[in-house]
Each structure stands twice: as C-alpha cells, then as structure tokens.
Amino acid sequence: MAYTTINDPSAFFQCTLYTGDGSSDLAITNGGNSDLQPDLVWLKERSSTSDHGIYDSVRGAGAHLEPNKNTAVDANATEQLSSFNTDGFNVGSSGLSNEDGETYVAWQWKAGTSFSNDASSTSVGTIDSAGSVNQDAGFSIISYTGTGSAATVAHGLGSAPRTIWIKDTSNARDWGVYHEDIANVNALYLDLNNEKGGNNAGFWNSTSPTSSVFSINTRNEVNASSANMIAYCFAEKQGFSKFGSYTGNGSTTNNAFIYTGFRPAWFMCKRTDGAGSWAIFDNKREPFNDGANSNMISDDNNAENTNDYNVEFFSNGIKPNASSDNIGRNAAAYVYWAFAASPFVTSTGIPTTAV
C-alpha cells in the first residue's frame, strides 16, 4: 500500500500571502505546483487589527463568517471576497481583505465535487444535507437545516471525519468544534479560548462520526431548530493531514515532538484542559527551518504576533517550543490540526526533499 496518495499537497491546500491595494477588484493568484481553485478561504490581515473572514463556495463568495466572533453570516460581503477563481480568488475594497498597503494571509482548501443527500431516499442520515466534497483530500463543506432534535447528517467523505467545525449561519452563536481526541462528549469553540466543554451530550449525542454521517443533538451551536448550518468536515489522510493531541512540557527549546508524516504547511493548536487561544502557524509567513514564530489567533482580531513562540517545522513533524498556555505549557493538554507542504515519503516510496 502506498504511503500517501497525495504527492502534491498544493493541489488541495495552499497558504498565500498578498498586499492589499485598496481597489475594488484585486485578484489573488495561488502558486504551488498545482493551480488551486479554493472552496474554503480563511483570510486574516497580518499587519493590523481586523476580524478574520471565512468564505466558502457552498454559501457563495459574498457570504462572510468570522471565526473570532459568534456573529451570523453577512450575506452581502462581496467587497471582502467577490469570487472563487480557477487559480485563486478576488477581493474587493474592504479593509478585512484589501486595505491599501496592508499585508494579508489566505489559507485555502479545495473540495470541488457537488454533494447532495436526500435522507429519506438514501436512508443515510436523518436530515438532508448538501455541499461540496473532496474524498481524496478528506474535506467536505456541508450545509443542513437544524431540527433542534437529535439527528445524523451525511458528510460525503467515505471515511470518518476526525474533526468538524460547525457554525449556525442564521444566528449569533458560537462555533462548535468536534475533535476525536477530546471524545464525543466534549466540544470546543473556535471563537473562544475556553477549555473543552465536558460531559455534554448536547453537541454530538455522545456518538463519534462514521464513514457516512456525523451526529448532532440539541445544542443550538450545531443544531438550532430551522437554522441554516454549515459544517467543515476533515478526515485524516496519510501524508497530507493530521489531527491529534499532545502534552506540553514547558520547554522553549525541546518541547513535545508531534509526528505528522509530512513537512507542515499549516498548524493550529488549542489547549483543552484550561484557557488558551487557538494559535495558527504556517510555512509562508515563516518559511525557514528555524521556527514558525509568526502566530495568528483565531479567537481574536489582533495583528500577527511574534512574541514567545518558536514552532519548528520538520520534514516529518512539528515541535511547539514555547511555555505559553497557547501552545506548550508544562503538563497541559492540546489538540492540533496540520496540513502538509510535502509528504515525508511519496506514493512511490521515495523520501521527499524538505521544502
């Protein structure tokens, strides 16, 4: 069996940097070895304070969500992101995406295959769902309407997602986050720095996702009655994505080593046994091997921060060298999300060159 089926991660995930020009129509073009038409774009201004923005092709380019806030969707945000293109996207004149002279980062994922499930016809799930799916990369964007009662939702991945981010787009409610390593009775909030919410069957009905559906219960964050919901589902793919957990040891030079099986392009972590912000690092803002020090926080609107962080990216993993609550406190528990720049070993069994 091949080590990985994804020799070129840039076909499914890319991080792109750009500088705003204040115009009404700025095209952002992806690089990498493959053109990437994104279906999910997460934007953040690096050089100044502004909210994050999440946009996806299922809701449409002009529909804006903020991972650092609980606000409902802004459906008229074409001045922020106006189109998804075959090799990137276009932004308008909003300061959130294109203020003249300010610097930005865009994290992008590809889904791309239309998905629709009529639960009564297929007997898969108990409520209808639709969206965009990429089974090769283990990523789907799923929309559904909440019922307020326990339900199951088809995700289209063909394998069980290890993590899911869900937002009620109709109402001002926190983001609900599932991660396999904190168990199906717990949840996190993408817009808050809280520790995991424990022993709460109201989120996932104490049931882990299967290869066909994920379970939701009565919590409004994931299943508000008659509300429009959006779910970003991620299944783990060897050599491309890894979602796990680690325990910090407090060292700023030799903290926990996280084996991923690839050189990372993107890393996000969250403390689960106490308060700690969601810290995000990537290989474009810090492209060298001496550490990804430039940190963005998903639960606030601050500019890029380079204080007290030294997250090292290796050809096969990550070392979060910091003693802070956010990434490496001694004996503190964390979960993480990581996507590849290059696999450690290709599908033909050849080790790759670190990039």
Give 40-91 pLDDT, tens digit per residue: 999 999 999 999 999 999 999 999 999 999 999 988 888 999 999 999 999 9
Q: Tell me the CA distances in angstroms from 232 to 77, 245, 343, one per residue in order.
A: 20, 20, 23
Question: Where a domain ends, among 86, 109, 132?
Answer: 109
Q: What is the pLDDT of residue 167?
A: 98
**CB-based burial label for 101 (10 Å; 0-12, 13-18, 19+):** exposed
- In a 13 Å sphere around the CA of 243, the CA atoms on its Cβ side amount to 19
Are 299 and 190 spatial neighbours (Cβ–Cβ below 8 Å)?
yes
Are 351 and 239 spatial neighbours (Cβ–Cβ below 8 Å)?
no
Q: What is the pLDDT of residue 351?
A: 65
319-350 tens-digit pLDDT: 999 899 999 999 999 999 999 998 876 666 66
Residue 43 placed within a domain: yes
**Tell me, what amino acid is at 318?**
I
Write out the residue range of the structural domain in which residue 42 sits: 9-109
Separation of alpha carbons 117 and 112, rounded Å: 16
Q: What is the pLDDT of residue 355?
A: 44
Q: Tell me the CA distances in angstroms from 26 to 12, 59, 89, 325, one per residue in order.
A: 23, 21, 9, 38
Q: What is the pLDDT of residue 287?
A: 60
134-190 tens-digit pLDDT: 999 999 999 999 999 999 999 999 999 999 999 999 999 999 999 999 999 999 999
205-226 tens-digit pLDDT: 999 999 999 999 999 999 999 9
Q: What is the pLDDT of residue 94?
A: 95
What is the number of domains present in the chain? 3
Separation of alpha carbons 9 and 78, rounded Å: 29
Question: Where a domain ends, among 74, 109, 144?
Answer: 109
Separation of alpha carbons 344 and 322, rounded Å: 25
134 and 226 inside one domain: yes
Q: What is the pLDDT of residue 1?
A: 43
Are 264 and 275 spatial neighbours (Cβ–Cβ below 8 Å)?
no
